[in-house]
Structure 1
Amino acid sequence: MDVALVQYINRLCRHLAITPSRLHPHEVYLDPSDAADPRVACLLNVPVESLRLRFALLQSLNNSLESFFLPLVELRQTHTYQNSIAALLSEAKGLIFYDTKVTVMNRVLNATVQRTADHAAPEITLDPLEIVGGEIRSSENTYFCQAARQLSCVPSSQLCVKLASGGDPTYAFNIRFTGEEVHGTSGSFRHFLWQVCKELQSSALSLLLPCPSAAANRNKGKYILTPCPISYAEEQLLHFFGQLLGIAIRADVPLPLDLLGSFWKGLVGEPLDSEQDLQEADVLTYNYVKKFENVSVTDETELEALCAEISSQHHSGESPDSPSRPCCTFTYVTMTGEEVELCQGGRSLIVSWQNKDVYARAVRSLRLRELQNVECMTAVRAGLGSIIPLQLLTMLSPIEIELRTCGLPYINLEFLKAHTMYQVGLMETDQHIEFFWTALEMFTQEELCKFIKFACNQERIPFTCPCKDGGPDTAHVPPYPMKIAPPDGAAGQPDSRYIRVETCMFMVKLPQYTSLDVMLEKLRYAIHYREDPLSG
């Protein structure tokens, strides 16, 4: 119950944009709509007063952990000593609020800065012409590979910077685009991370593989690490991928990566669930395995039909006893399409009543090994560990490290509105400002993400900000706050002008359009037809 309550409080605090330490127990309530979330459905039958008292206890526990206990725990001993405080803390991480973990994590990240203000940031030069038109002719031309080559000779210590904050954040490296005149570093850095994520989740690079379950309309758009032996060059690219995850965490730039839960489990060192993770990754194989395990002992026809189905899907073969009947041998096709033997001499070993359970276990084991992908995950973790201390992952669940790295895949318009400034005499009550927010409220989530990409060069924005813990002078996390300003110059009719942005500053230069229809038209034109993502 406590773990479910912590998950519910995390969600409630995200909605209210406050930390659990500032939430009063009497603000804790459950709505019947919460029954849709299986993680908190068990709380619906608990009296609300009991929930509030339990929350008060968890709140006190987390305050003590954050202030006194967690800074003193040696988290590196978690996997070495099973009875250490760190190991016990890892088992109890479900009782710690997400904000508590992030606060401690941020303190450690700022305490492990290795590049000070006295040292100039490394600079890389990228050639946009290599990916012009969105068509990448070779993986060597991608921004990912261009950056990996140039940063391979830069010590990782030079990439360990303080957490990004304020209007002029420090990033791991600066980016210069050949032939481009870009003012400021934030917009180009955020555009680089967006482009790299786009490349990783495309055919331009082979580090990630589309989730096999997508063939059955499940987890479409999700990716896993490609499960195959890797060369030294591929190991270096995976190492750089891990570094980018750490760089994004320090920069507080949520990456638009859609990776399957098994990836995040491997990253934090959690074991895979042989049922759930297999079903999420490859539902067709999962169904085959379950059919083999549950096939009736007396139904020989059912086993033959199942073997025939697998033979037709993966390979062709005939039974030596009955040449006209397809047979299934101890082989299976990997996620990359290669047929492998499940045991020594598997191609000549036919699946029968006596060994069908052994075959099912072998297929399950093959898929789980592919999902664990130890060789590739080791390279990614090594890269991540060169930017942030890996022991911090001890406190985080797979969902939480994904949240910290990739944020939320949707835009909270109320949160964005609360983190917006109006400049040069503009006010929230101005008619064209009201048109602006009404237009955004009419947008789909896809259109909102495109607007954010247009305005600040990143598709996802942080869902939390330090300003919720302090007064108005507290530094915002970039790219917040969004700024709305008048357009440059005063020539021409407002309705004939276009929206411009300064992506480095997250500034929208908004003409005084005379109607909501004009505002909608100009906004949609801006997010759909802009040509240069660096100029707005």
Structure 2
Amino acid sequence: QVSTSRYTWKVKLIGEGADDAGGSEDLVLCSLDVQSEDLVLCPDRFLLNPAALSKDHMVQFRFLGILMAVAIRTKKPLDLHLAPWVWKQLCSMPLGEPDLEEVDLLTFRTLQGILHLENSGITEENFHVMIPLDSFVAHSADGRLVPVGPGGQNISLNFSNRTEYVERALQYRLHEMDSQVASVREGTAPPVSVETLKKLVRYRDIAESHQLVAWFWQSLEEFTNEERVLFLRFVSGRSRLPSNPADMTQKFQIIKVDRPVNGLPTAQTCFFLLRLPPYTSQVVLAERLRYSIHNCPSIDMDNYMLTHNTEPLETSDTEDLKGVAVKWAPRALQIYSSGHC
């Protein structure tokens, strides 16, 4: 656990009268240990091992992500020699043929050779003599011969379907580490915990036992983590929660408001506050909440109004702009459905 920005972590040695302040050497040792087992060398940089798929491996990859996040927060260099391929995936950048060429030149040239047989002398008659593969299999990053696609080992490779084979092989190689990358990214940005939000909540003008509250928590639990991140941005302007709820200086406030039934929820990021109108069902609540978090991700909406040359309204008037209720206050525009103040 990181307690200050100065030290990586603090370790208490059980049974000994000393402790450790967690300097940068700890990160170096941890990164070297990770590189020794969970990564694949190719040729002078490391890739994540696509064969490391067990639960324990996923925990280790998540810990690698935590190490990366700690290194960034504490400004302690991390001695980790990852290939550009991995960094691109961690940043959600698409991979392409040049990336495979960079990390596995032999496989890239083999696939290109199978695809482009012009002037090679290889024909349908001598294809199996010249190409040493008889099914839809290819070598993975860690050297295993694996099927490319479902049942690939049972699909015969021939002259006529070679293009399909190359496409499948490329897709497999470009995505064979997706699970490992996802675990690393989870470590760098832990998922939004509904249970943590429940520990932070404060109810106003509504009881915890109210049906609306139960529907709200059910909806949030059904959301994907990406949707929960959008929700957190919608109500607070941030994309993650602290690992320790005690570090949160604000309570998450839920208020029941007297507005039209099945309307859009509203929020105020300054106060970490969500306003819920009455709903006829949990399904409707979830649908309205999803609409709001997907269509109102920005805090500053003033420029929207300026570009549309909207004249100020009286403070008691409202109008709908694509489902967004806006209201002019003195010298400032308040965006209610975005919840931004």
TM-score, structure 2 normalization: 0.49
Richer in helix (by share): 1
Richer in strand (by share): 2
**Greater RCO structure (CA 8 Å; 6+ sep):** 1
